[in-house]
């Protein structure tokens, strides 16, 4: 299959404008004749649903939570990037574009990234217009702080609750449209299959999570803004409900899955403390603006941090990367934390932690300033660990946090299944092999507020849509597929809980496809996952019935999909014989231990086609070309 990215050519600065001009428009009076399904009401889905309804389309919007306000986006802490250059510190759209292409280790599409950097300016205006309370300086200007992989301050924030405030903005816009009858909201409703009619996405099959009712919904186009799949690893910083079901089931209906092995490991999380744990907590990257990362200079030094004199500390990021210091990108910071712990320099009971120390910042700025900047994060740390980060350094360790992989989309954000659009973390687009901090919110809102509302009209205006209803063979087939999967899970009546299988799968993924990967390890993982998956289907214990609220059944379906996805992630990681960004294959590293890319053989997006459960997937390649930011060894020294 030839993958057409529909990426415009010509000067990069004007590509999006020229592309938009060439897109067909839907006459305002005709928009109300179209119905669009938006699955997801986080920052991507919520902003898209509100914007599409504002344009005049009928929108049906779905989420599995009881309110759009509870989407995982609400957890985002540190901020959102935009190249406003309010600090006059040398930022520009071009610099944000450059930093993002380089930060992603040259595995993203240049056209998309430039568009994203340009739209970043509009996002801030839009959100300020909605009343999002971004932090301000005394003068009244919006304040900025720095995030990893950049030497400018371009991150807009609302204390450590930026996602919550942005989501409230999108939610208000969505509620307005719900109130006006333009958006019909379906909370507590989970998409379990995609309906494809004559090769085009025409609807979804859902389960009402309260009553268990399985139903079909029809539309002229379907948009998935269903978030990321990090939870395949079980222990992650994501909300417990985040899952891959919507995109995985769309994948099984023909949508290509791109770069599944590009997972992001965040360097600053509260370390794992025991077997009983089911969730990890992020300490925002923003803390690295003022916190200094260090370990004792000698191995297994058990002294309290305050007892270790300055000369006996190793501020290893500042030492190795003097230009970027503690603000190196996430992949670099995570790998270095692992390296010092592997050397025996780690701290805490397990030795799997490094210090993030605010002593100097508190002395310089005073505790009240630090409290104002990060108060809620410090409180969160204190509540979880029982330690006071104003008095002693935080202990942190990398953890799975975000996925750059997702469904393949073209420049219009349409998948290879016509009429199926994918936005936000659910698609594979703009971050390459490593996302820079504060760029996920930017991408989700760029997709939802600005890109999709422009591009979807072209598809609607270019096609004719026959009516589809429940009697169509494709609909009946999709519905009976959902019934069959539900029945099979309930009928297994096995001995082990869904969670125990999920935990075991997550451990395999972390051990063999986590921060460091090898061909042998990945091959081994691929011998462990399929038998465990088969055992799951015959031995999983799901209590209750399908005709009621049944969270065990909900989880069981999601974990079944994680099993299949896990295999694809490992295959992709095994196939990519290079290191890039978050994908670190130990066999491919520079003499200094940095990721060694192989541009000659791997400068492409790997888009996998589903061939059946347990069958090797089919690889399609979208070649990546770099006309502006020329591939080089990334350096943050």
Ligand X SMILES: Cc1cc2nc3c(=O)[nH]c(=O)nc-3n(C[C@H](O)[C@H](O)[C@H](O)COP(=O)(O)OP(=O)(O)OC[C@H]3O[C@@H](n4cnc5c(N)ncnc54)[C@H](O)[C@@H]3O)c2cc1C
Closest CA to 224 of 199, 253, 194, 252: 194
Q: Please list, residue by residue across 544-569, b when 16 or more beta carbons sit within 10 angstroms of its beta carbon and e when fewer do.
A: eebeeebebbbbbbbbbbbbbbbbbb
Answer yes or no whether residue 440 interacts with ligand X by CB under 6 A: yes
- Residues contacting ligand X: total by CB under 6 A: 45
What string of DSSP letters covers 517-543?
B-HHHHHHHHHHHHHHHHHHHHHEE--
Handedness of CA 41, 42, 48, 54 (dihedral sign): positive
In which element (H, E) is residue 55 found?
A: helix 43-55
In the window 476-505, what residues touch ligand X (CB under 6 A)?
none
CB of 625 to ligand X, least distance (A): 27
CB of 255 to ligand X, least distance (A): 14
In the window 240-299, what residues touch ligand X (CB under 6 A)?
242, 245-246, 282, 284
CA distance 109 to 102: 11
**CB-nearer residue toward ligand X: 54 or 208:** 208
Q: Is 583 helix (H, G, I), strand (E, B) or coil?
A: strand
CA distance 556 to 562: 10
CB of 232 to ligand X, least distance (A): 14
Q: Tell me whether residue 330 is one of the annotated catalytic residues.
A: yes
In DSSP terms, which residues pair with 400 in a beta bridge?
236, 265
Answer yes or no whether residue 45 interacts with ligand X by CB under 6 A: yes
**CB-nearer residue toward ligand X: 225 or 582:** 225
260: which 2 tokens? Answer: 């599944």
CA distance 278 to 503: 8
85 torsion bin: left (phi>0), alpha (psi -120 to 50), beta (else):
left
**Which of these segments, 36-44, 132-140, 573-581, 627-635, binds ligand X (CB under 6 A)?**
36-44
**CB-nearer residue toward ligand X: 246 or 353:** 246
| Cβ–Cβ < 8 Å for 262, 405 | yes
Tell which one of 398, 424, 453, 514 touches ligand X (CB under 6 A). Answer: 424
Answer yes or no whether residue 39 interacts with ligand X by CB under 6 A: yes
Answer yes or no whether residue 441 interacts with ligand X by CB under 6 A: yes
CA distance 247 to 418: 15
Tell which one of 8, 12, 37, 41 touches ligand X (CB under 6 A). Answer: 41
Q: Please list, residue by residue across 471-486, b when 16 or more beta carbons sit within 10 angstroms of its beta carbon and e when fewer do.
A: ebebbeebbebbeebb
Answer yes or no whether residue 120 interacts with ligand X by CB under 6 A: no
Tell which one of 50, 59, 76, 433 touches ligand X (CB under 6 A). Answer: 76
Tell which one of 238, 263, 268, 579 touches ligand X (CB under 6 A). Answer: 238
CB of 93 to ligand X, least distance (A): 18
CA distance 113 to 111: 6
In the window 180-209, what residues touch ligand X (CB under 6 A)?
190-191
Tell which one of 19, 401, 576, 620 touches ligand X (CB under 6 A). Answer: 401
Answer yes or no whether residue 72 interacts with ligand X by CB under 6 A: yes
Cβ neighbour number for residue 139 with a 10 Å cutoff: 6
Q: How many CA atoms lie within 13 A of 25 on its CB side?
A: 8
Report the number of secondary-structure helices (H) and strands (E) in the chain: 18, 21
Answer yes or no whether residue 226 interacts with ligand X by CB under 6 A: yes
Answer yes or no whether residue 327 interacts with ligand X by CB under 6 A: no
CB of 596 to ligand X, least distance (A): 28
Residue 126-165 contact track with ligand X, rule CB under 6 A, x = bound: ------------------------------------xx--
| Cβ–Cβ < 8 Å for 80, 142 | no
CB of 606 to ligand X, least distance (A): 21
**CB-nearer residue toward ligand X: 132 or 295:** 132
**CB-nearer residue toward ligand X: 191 or 258:** 191
CB of 235 to ligand X, least distance (A): 12
Identified catalytic residue from 15, 330, 435, 634:
330
**Which of these segments, 38-46, 337-345, 456-464, 481-489, binds ligand X (CB under 6 A)?**
38-46
| Cβ–Cβ < 8 Å for 323, 636 | yes
In DSSP terms, which residues pair with 295 in a beta bridge?
314
Tell which one of 40, 260, 389, 506 touches ligand X (CB under 6 A). Answer: 40
Tell which one of 65, 350, 382, 481 touches ligand X (CB under 6 A). Answer: 65
Q: Is 624 helix (H, G, I), strand (E, B) or coil?
A: coil
Binding site for ligand X (CB under 6 A): 39-45, 62-65, 71-73, 75-80, 162-163, 190-191, 225-228, 237-238, 242, 245-246, 282, 284, 401-402, 424-426, 438-441, 444
Q: Which residues are catalytic?
A: 330
């Amino acid at each position: 299959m030839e993958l057409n990215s529909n990426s415009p050519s010509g000067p990069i600065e004007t590509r999006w404008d020229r592309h938009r001009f060439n897109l067909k428009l839907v006459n305002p009076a005709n928009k109300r004749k179209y119905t669009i399904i938006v699955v997801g009401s986080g920052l991507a889905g919520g902003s898209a649903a509100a914007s599409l309804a504002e344009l005049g389309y009928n929108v049906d919007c779905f989420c599995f939570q009881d309110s759009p306000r509870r989407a995982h986006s609400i957890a985002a802490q540190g901020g959102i990037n935009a190249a406003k250059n309010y600090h006059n510190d040398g930022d520009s759209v071009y610099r944000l574009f450059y930093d993002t292409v380089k930060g992603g280790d040259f595995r993203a599409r240049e056209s998309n990234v430039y568009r994203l950097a340009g739209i970043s300016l509009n996002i801030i205006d839009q959100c300020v217009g909605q009343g999002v309370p971004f932090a301000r300086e005394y003068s009244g200007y919006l304040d900025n702080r720095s995030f990893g992989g950049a030497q400018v301050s371009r991150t807009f924030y609302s204390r450590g609750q930026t996602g919550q405030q942005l989501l409230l903005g999108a939610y208000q816009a969505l509620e307005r449209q719900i109130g006006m009858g333009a958006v019909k909201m379906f909370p507590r409703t989970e998409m379990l299959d995609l309906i494809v009619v004559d090769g085009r996405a025409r609807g979804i099959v859902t389960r009402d999570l309260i009553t268990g009712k399985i139903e079909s919904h029809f539309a002229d186009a379907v948009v998935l803004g269903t978030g990321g799949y990090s939870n395949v690893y079980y222990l992650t910083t994501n909300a417990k409900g985040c899952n891959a079901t919507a995109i995985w089931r769309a994948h099984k209906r023909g949508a290509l899955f791109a770069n599944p092995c590009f997972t992001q490991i965040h360097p600053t999380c509260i370390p794992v403390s025991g077997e009983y744990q089911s969730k990890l907590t992020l300490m925002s990257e923003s803390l690295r603006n003022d916190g200094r990362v260090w370990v004792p200079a000698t191995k297994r030094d058990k002294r309290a941090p305050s007892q270790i004199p300055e000369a006996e500390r190793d501020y290893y990021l500042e030492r190795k990367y003097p230009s970027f210091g503690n603000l190196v990108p996430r992949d670099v910071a995570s790998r270095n934390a692992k390296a010092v712990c592997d050397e025996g320099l780690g701290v805490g009971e397990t030795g799997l932690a490094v210090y993030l120390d605010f002593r100097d910042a508190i002395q310089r700025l005073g505790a009240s300033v630090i409290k104002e900047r990060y108060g809620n994060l410090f409180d969160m740390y204190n509540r979880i660990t029982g330690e006071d980060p104003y008095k002693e350094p935080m202990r942190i360790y990398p953890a799975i946090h975000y996925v750059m992989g997702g469904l393949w989309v073209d420049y219009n954000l349409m998948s290879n299944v016509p009429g199926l659009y994918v936005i936000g973390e659910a698609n594979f687009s703009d971050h390459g092999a490593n996302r820079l901090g504060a760029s996920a919110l930017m991408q989700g809102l760029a997709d939802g507020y600005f890109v999709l509302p422009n591009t979807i009209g072209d598809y609607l205006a270019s096609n004719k849509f026959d009516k589809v209803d429940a009697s169509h063979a494709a609909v009946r087939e999709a519905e009976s597929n959902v019934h069959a999967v539900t029945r099979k899970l309930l009928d297994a009546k096995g001995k082990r809980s869904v969670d125990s299988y999920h935990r075991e799968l997550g451990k395999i993924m972390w051990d063999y496809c986590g921060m460091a990967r090898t061909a042998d390890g990945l091959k081994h993982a691929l011998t462990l996952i399929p038998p465990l998956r088969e055992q799951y289907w015959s031995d999983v214990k799901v209590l209750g019935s399908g005709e009621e609220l049944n969270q065990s059944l909900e989880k069981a379906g999601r974990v079944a999909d994680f099993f299949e996805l896990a295999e694809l992630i490992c295959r992709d990681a095994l196939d990519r014989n290079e290191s890039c960004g978050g994908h670190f294959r130990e066999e491919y590293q520079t003499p200094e231990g940095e990721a060694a890319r192989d541009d000659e053989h791997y400068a492409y997006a790997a888009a996998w086609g589903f061939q059946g459960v347990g069958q090797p997937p089919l690889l399609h390649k979208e070649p990546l070309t770099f006309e502006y930011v020329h591939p080089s060894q990334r350096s943050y020294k």
